[in-house]
Amino acid sequence: MHELKCKTMSKSIFYHAGCPVCLSAEHDIINLVGAENVEVVNIGENRNRIQEAEKAGVTSVPALVTPNGNTLHINFGASMADVKGSN
Amino acid sequence: MHELKCKTMSKSIFYHAGCPVCLSAEHDIINLVGAENVEVVNIGENRNRIQEAEKAGVTSVPALVTPNGNTLHINFGASMADVKGSN
């Protein structure tokens, strides 16, 4: 359990909402960083992670939160307001 | 010479213009991808590479062009029009 947590902490998190721009960027990020180094979270489906994403500074998707906590917004796909509105 | 070209072709290219947003993103990208896998180009200073960046689809900086030719625009720093206007 402890080991799992440590591993998770050193990964980047890629937040997306399933849109075509998101999926294209996901593909590129995984190619660049390696699938083992990034956790992919679809906040359109996994809505209980929206708050965590916003807390990390994610204002649009796709976005990559780096292990040191910086948020990189990548090619604009959808605003968080759009994601939250799409039930 | 041939070897150099091959190596360059498999690298990503990070285009920036020296702005704080660019430098912060550069730091993150190098941490994620590794300095040996990315060529950093300041098109504010190295203006003869602006055309190449635009041809790759760069419309704002910072931006990362991946080895397969996809362009990822990262946290908005400056539009290409701004870069071209700042002599």
B74 contact A CB<8A: yes
Which residue type sits at A44?
G
Residue B51 burial (10 A CB sphere; 0-12, 13-18, 19+): exposed
Q: Which residues contact B75 (CB under 8 A, 6 or more apart)?
A: A71, A72, A73, B21, B24, B25, B62
Contact A32 B74 (CB under 8 A): no
The residue among B3 and A65 whose pLDDT is bigger is A65
Partners of B11 on chain A (C-beta within 8 Å) are: none
Reported pTM = 0.85
pLDDT of residue A10: 80
| Angle subtended by helix axes B20-33 and A20-33, to nearest 10 | 60
Enumerate the domain spans of chain B: 3-75
Partners of A29 on chain B (C-beta within 8 Å) are: 72
Q: What is the distance between the alpha carbons of residues A28 and B57, in angstroms, rounded to a whole number? A: 15
Chain A residue with minimal CA distance to B63? A74
CA A57 to chain centre: 11
Please, what is the average pLDDT of chain B? 89
Q: What is the distance between the alpha carbons of residues A20 and B52, in angstroms, rounded to a whole number? A: 26
A21 contact B CB<8A: no
- Beta-carbon pairs below 8 A across chains A and B: 45
Neighbours of B10 (CB within 10 A): 9
Contact B68 A32 (CB under 8 A): no
Q: Model confidence over A4-37: pLDDT tens digits? A: 544 445 899 999 999 999 999 999 999 999 999 9
User: Of B62, B81, B72, B65, nearest to B21 (Cα)?
Assistant: B62
Residue B10: pLDDT band with limits 50, 70, 90: confident
Q: Before B20, cis peptide (omega within 30)? A: no
Q: Which CATH superfamily is domain B3-75 in?
A: Glutaredoxin (3.40.30.10)
Global ipTM? 0.83
Q: Which structure tokens are listed for B86? A: 């700042």
Q: Model confidence over B65-80: pLDDT tens digits? A: 999 999 999 999 999 9
Q: Before B67, cis peptide (omega within 30)? A: no
A13 contact B CB<8A: no
| Chain B from 42 to 71: CB within 8 A of any A CB | 64, 66-68, 70-71
